Amino acid sequence: MPFFTAINTSMEYVTGFTLVDITRTGVTHNRPENERQRNQQRNWETVIQCMGLRTQPLDIQGPKCIEMYIDEDTFGEMYQGRQRVWAWTFYADRTGTWASDTDELALLHRDFNEVPIIQGLDETARFILPIFYTKGAIKNVFFKLGRLNLNSI
């Protein structure tokens, strides 16, 4: 058996977008002076756990916070205008990980839907419910196939 084997070339890159503050702060100990940073990190840890429910997410880039103009075609109709959006990209070690019927990312959206988040951090959007929501008027997270170059946005 060879010591080194090539990475599976059928990688499936995915890019995620959310209005929830998922800033990766690296703060893992809860102390009063860094509660905000700890809560941002908690949201990021939640993202990592949801991505890893069906596969091992690899080559995770981001998240990167950008300000952009959004409309009801981007997120739910509750969120419009200029908003902070966090974007990240990663790949699965095999294709079809989240496919269901004709939607290649249906199971990833299902895994994130209604997962609790911590709100009131550095996001500009205000959420009715403290959860990730992947559809409808309060959609605050979604995914697209493909890799986004986070350095170019």
Domain ranges of the chain: 12-148
What pLDDT, on the 0 to 100 scale, is given for residue 39?
97
Q: Tell me the C-alpha distance between 23 and 124, whole Å.
A: 14
- Dig out the tokens for 108 from the structure: 């990833």
Structure tokens at 91: 């790949």
- H helices of 5-152, in order, are 35-51, 106-112
Local mean pLDDT, 10-residue blocks, the chain (153 residues): 41 93 95 95 98 94 95 90 96 89 95 97 96 96 91 81
Pairing of strands 141-145, 12-18: antiparallel
In whole angstroms, what is the distance from residue 79 CA to residue 75 CA? 6
Give the number of C-alpha atoms closer than 13 A to the C-alpha of residue 150, restricted to the C-beta side.
Answer: 18
User: Could you tell me if 47 and 88 are in contact, meaning their C-beta atoms sit under 8 angstroms apart?
Assistant: yes
pLDDT, residue 82, reads 96
pLDDT of residue 95: 86
Whole-angstrom Cα distance, residue 83 to residue 85? 6
What pLDDT sits at residue 93? 83
Question: Coil, strand or helix: which one is 66?
Answer: strand
Q: What is the pLDDT of residue 13?
A: 93
